[in-house]
Amino acid sequence: MTQLDERAETAARASRPGGRLSSPLVRYIAIRLVVSLLLLVGVTIVTFVLTNLVPASPVTAALGERASSDPKIVAAFKAAQGLDKPLPVQYAIYLGHLLQGNLGTSIQTHDAVTQDLAAAFPATVELALFVIVLSVIIGLGLGLIAALRHNRLPDQIIRVVSLLGISVPTFWLAVAVYFLFFFVLHWAPGSGRLDPADTPPPTVTGLFTVDALLAGQPAVFFDALSHLVLPGLVLTLYTVGLLVRFARSAILDVLSQDYVRAARAKGLPGGQVVFRYVLRGALLPILTIVGLAFGSLLSGTVLTEQVFAWGGIGQYAFRAATALDLPAVLGVGLIVGVVYIATNFVIDVIYGVVDPRVRVG
Amino acid sequence: MSGLRIEELRLTIGRSEVLRGISLDAPGGVITGLAGESGSGKTMTGLAVIGLQPAGSRVSGTIAFDDGAAGVPNLLDLSPRAINRLRGRRIAMVFQDPTASLQPMLSIGSQLTDHLRHHLHLDRHAARDRAIELLERVKVPDPEAAVRRYPHQFSGGQLQRIAIAIAIACEPAVLIADEPTTALDVTVQAGILRLLRELTDDLGLAVLLVTHDLGVMSAVADTVAVMRSGTVVEHGSRYQVIREPRTAYAKELIAALPHTPAPGAGVDERSPAPGAGADGEGSSAGADDEGEAR
Amino acid sequence: MTVAVAPPRRRMRLPAAWRRPLAIVGAAVIVIWVLIALLAPVLPLQDPLHQSSAVLASPSAGHLLGTDELGRDVLSRTLWGSQVSLPLAVVLVLASLVIGSVLGAVAGYIGGIVDEVIMRIADLVFAFPTIILAMVVAAALGPSLTNAVIALTFVNWPNYARVMRALVLGARGQEYVIAGRLLGSGPFTSLRRDVLPNVASPMLVLATLDFGNQILLLSGLSFLGLGAVPPTAEWGSMVGDGVQQFSSWWLATFPGLAIFSVVVGFNFLGDALRDALDPRTAGAVQGTTV
């Protein structure tokens, strides 16, 4: 009787509707994709509205005080930039251009914003990848050690180090290591992504290290790599500080779960319990924070890029903001929004693939 | 005869004495019930046997493990490595909440075979065949498909059957069942208890059944030990403890039962005994045990 | 007999936090800096704005931390800098805390369309990296410390709103709150008496940890030239100026250390407070050895 009940229940679970639209995973990803696209439209509206709400006049910023006192020049400039039309129309024009890959011309550089962004983005991507790979390895490792040695000496040391890591002013650390390792010790190369004597490798991905390898130029590869080290380590310190705290508490949460005790009751070796049962359980929350950290690195790390003259999105954003270069600011806002949405989408998809509760419904 | 013999087991965490000299026999082929309210130390006794007491606790006394030819005079003297070799292989454990004691992101198959492959050095195929055989043994429907499924695809009762299959996978001599039915619907509890009974009889298992539920206890346990604040206050056959409790505490516990089964009543007919439990004011001793086993 | 529905108020348990060495170190550092800020006018320091002929002098007995490119005393400017950063950080955190808590509490307590609107705005602010959004707002408003504080408040309030909303939602469902409502408390009485006391301590931890962050961001904006304007002795802009005079390492080093130490103080204290208030990570939890 009772067993029949159980069997009926299991059968009901197995035969839940869902056969029509292929696997639950595909449906899940499709929904995520639609949500992402909706968010994307939201981002274009926001970047647009935000830059139109600010009181400072882009006209003054672009033309300077003298020219902007001449109504004719102002009118001509406004007409040329489409600034004389009502906001919704300006937005429609902006969106139309956007769909053609046209983000307008930067008032400051006089280049197409798309072109500027295409040049800046790979620089940021290369730095962000370098930092996130290092940070995940170090951060997860230290977080795991801290959790397994909870409240003992290694945990306390790691806690202090990670707190120090998130307390250092990045811009100051950047200046300090630059001064010490470049200026005093000559161990590291100067600012920028390559030695001025080197020519960038032929562009394939835009990442100098990867492109140099593809072109078979080991000297350029090592030069690009050595330029990555200082800004990379500065950003890694902060990112590790962030990840360690999070990984530690996520793993501590899992360690108190019944299934960890059950795994230990099976007499499995400690390593197998940790890597198969514990880490798998902590994977999803850790994935989320890694994704967020990567997203924020990808949106440009203004201060570090500024110190090392990295020429990425962060530095471009700074120049655009200080010059009130509206098309450029909109462009940065857009790419940052896209990065945010894309990272979230990728996290969601990985969630779906990794978590059987999503994957098999 | 295989089984456990616990003598003068003491366990302290910091300054609090959780167990104050427990003595208990749990022979093979017999279900030994360990009853008591939360905080009485019954779960801790089970954890101490399998060597999973909380870090920083001190244990003394004797837990003799008789395993046919190869016995261990005192489990507490074993090195962590040596006890880990017994865990899951000779001494196994089933926990209270099956939805929490299975890793949600690992398939049933891998959770059934991990320790099989580690302890018995089976290859992938042999372990899988054994897993299917075990699922059949605990009456999980469609075992071939079940090994590929994940915990969230099963009901609580099925999950507890799977947890029991995991526990008996390496054919242990001792099984500690910590509140195995508490988290389950009343309708599936009896099925799990009947399964425990069958396994005990068929495999000659020594089962240590930890529960606060004297109804469960009286349904399956052969002998019953009643615990209170770290000591065993009463230990005897089920009939004796339930029908003729010697201590006042055990009497109170029994009186608190809504339905006390008649002596010899099996799982199937849990008829209320006339008169029993009618006089007490129903102080629900030991209900709400939720927190303890977690 | 009276029927008492006593809410299990989460007490601050400060004593436990104070017993932690990190909390003591953090609190000590903060107290020292607050004292410096209060006592700067009476300390035997040179005028932080006084320009002397000793330009870019390296540390010496006369100028313990050297002088900058205008001959101003770096020690004096660094210590006076606390008068700029600390009060502004207080204003910034308080403003974000008040705005964010009110909006979050309203969203959580009223729910429905109000909740949707507030939280979607918060999401949108979240979608942009703090420093970039703050930079754009600060640049648009024009460089000044006040505008930097406004810009940072604008990007910071959603943090508080989110946490507050979650806490209110959690507390609202608690049985003692429901019991209170059943016994006749009005919605505002209920919010004030049963809900707020229980969300106060998590918000306090959040604010403490936020202090360090906001000081970093504020000095970062000044470093970029979007905050303090000359001749204000502000730490971030001092580091920025120091970058122009690269061989005079003392210019950037000491104000940077000042920022670092204050932020460490707040982060140590906040971390210890969080541990003391969060039972999951508290010392009472038994360590699990795997």
Give pLDDT, residue A62. Answer: 60
Query: Considering only CB atoms, which chain A residues are within 8 Å of C209?
Result: none
What is the pLDDT of chain B when averaged over all its residues?
Answer: 81
Contacts A–B by Cβ distance under 8 A: 111
Question: Is C290 domain-assigned?
Answer: no
Say what the pTM is: 0.79
Q: C16: buried, middle or exposed (CB in 10 Å: 19+, 13-18, 0-12)?
A: middle
Domain boundaries defined on chain A: 40-102, 111-359
pLDDT in tens, A13-66: 444 444 444 678 888 888 888 888 888 888 788 777 766 665 555 566 566 666
pLDDT in tens, C236-256: 999 988 888 777 888 888 999
Give yes or no for residue C286 having a pLDDT over 90. Answer: no
Residues 26-55, chain B, touching C (beta carbon < 8 A) = 54-55
Give pLDDT, residue C139. Answer: 84
Question: Is C118 domain-assigned?
Answer: yes
Query: Considering only CB atoms, which chain C residues are within 8 Å of B55?
Result: 286-289
A172–C259 C-beta distance less than 8 A:
yes
Q: CA-CA distance, A23 to A30, in Å (whole number)?
A: 11
pLDDT in tens, C140-158: 888 889 989 998 999 899 9
Q: CA-CA distance, C197 to C201, in Å (whole number)?
A: 8
Distance between start and end Cα atoms, chain B: 32
Q: Which of A160, A169, A341 comes nearest C260 by C-beta?
A: A169
pLDDT over 90 percentage in chain A: 30
Query: Considering only CB atoms, which chain C residues are within 8 Å of A36?
Result: none
Residues 245-264, chain C, touching A (beta carbon < 8 A) = 246-247, 249, 252-253, 255-256, 259-260, 263-264
Chain A residue at shortest CA distance from C221: A303
C260–A168 C-beta distance less than 8 A:
yes
Q: Which of A254-263, A300-309, B236-245 has the lowest mean pLDDT?
A: B236-245
Using pLDDT thresholds of 50, 70 and 90, give the confidence band for residue C284. Answer: very low
The full DSSP string for chain C is -------------HHHHHTSHHHHHHHHHHHHHHHHHHHTTTSS---TT---S-TTPPS-SSSTT-B-TT--BHHHHHHHHHHHHHHHHHHHHHHHHHHHHHHHHHHHHH-HHHHHHHHHHHHHHHTS-HHHHHHHHHHHH-S-HHHHHHHHHHHHHHHHHHHHHHHHHHHHTSHHHHHHHHTT--HHHHIIIIIHHHHHHHHHHHHHHHHHHHHHHHHHHHHTTSS--TT---HHHHHHHHHHSTT-THHHHHHHHHHHHHHHHHHHHHHHHHHHH-TTTSTTSPP---
- Neighbours of C, requiring at least 3 CB pairs below 8 Å, are A, B
Chain C nearest-CA distance from B269, in A, is 39
Contacts B–C by Cβ distance under 8 A: 9
B56–C287 C-beta distance less than 8 A:
yes
Higher-scoring residue by pLDDT: A183, A275: A275
Domain A111-359: CATH superfamily is MetI-like (1.10.3720.10)
Q: CA-CA distance, A239 to A173, in Å (whole number)?
A: 14
B243 φ/ψ angles, rounded to the nearest 5 degrees: -90, -35
Give pLDDT, residue A97. Answer: 79
Higher-scoring residue by pLDDT: A165, A69: A165
Give pLDDT, residue C9. Answer: 45
Query: Considering only CB atoms, which chain A residues are within 8 Å of C141?
Result: 54-56
Instruction: Suggest the residue from C124, C218, C263, C278 to mutate for an interface test with chain A (most A CBs closer than 10 A).
Output: C124
Q: Kindly state whether A326 is in contact with chain C, defined as any CB-CB distance less than 8 angstroms.
A: no
The number of beta carbons lying within 10 Å of the beta carbon of residue C229 is: 14
A166–C267 C-beta distance less than 8 A:
yes
Q: Which of A6, A258, A264 comes nearest B188 by C-beta?
A: A6
Domains in chain C: how many in total? 1
Q: CA-CA distance, A26 to A14, in Å (whole number)?
A: 18
How much is the average pLDDT of B145-165?
91
Give pLDDT, residue A355. Answer: 86
Give pLDDT, residue C6. Answer: 43
Question: Is C153 domain-assigned?
Answer: yes
Q: Kindly state whether C157 is in contact with chain A, defined as any CB-CB distance less than 8 angstroms.
A: no
Greatest Cα-to-Cα distance within chain C, rounded to the nearest angstrom: 82
Using pLDDT thresholds of 50, 70 and 90, give the confidence band for residue A68. Answer: low
Q: Kindly state whether C287 is in contact with chain B, defined as any CB-CB distance less than 8 angstroms.
A: yes
B13–C287 C-beta distance less than 8 A:
no
Question: Is C197 domain-assigned?
Answer: yes
Q: Kindly state whether C66 is in contact with chain A, defined as any CB-CB distance less than 8 angstroms.
A: no
Nearest to A276 by CA among A252, A260, A261: A260
Question: Is C288 domain-assigned?
Answer: no
Q: Kindly state whether B291 is in contact with chain C, defined as any CB-CB distance less than 8 angstroms.
A: no
Using pLDDT thresholds of 50, 70 and 90, give the confidence band for residue B214. Answer: confident
pLDDT in tens, C105-122: 889 888 889 988 898 888
Give yes or no for residue C13 having a pLDDT over 80. Answer: no
CATH of the domain at C135: 1.10.3720.10
Query: Considering only CB atoms, which chain C residues are within 8 Å of B54?
Result: 286, 288
Give pLDDT, residue B132. Answer: 93
pLDDT over 90 percentage in chain C: 27
A105 φ/ψ angles, rounded to the nearest 5 degrees: -110, 135
pLDDT over 70 percentage in chain C: 83
The number of beta carbons lying within 10 Å of the beta carbon of residue A202 is: 10
Nearest to A238 by CA among A135, A90, A355: A135
- Can you tell me whether residue A296 is helix, strand or coil? helix
Give pLDDT, residue C171. Answer: 75
Give yes or no for residue C190 having a pLDDT over 70. Answer: no
Domain range for C154 is 74-282
Residues 122-181, chain B, touching C (beta carbon < 8 A) = none
A3–B101 C-beta distance less than 8 A:
no
Chain A nearest-CA distance from B170, in A, is 10
Chain C nearest-CA distance from A21, in A, is 31
Chain A nearest-CA distance from B223, in A, is 25
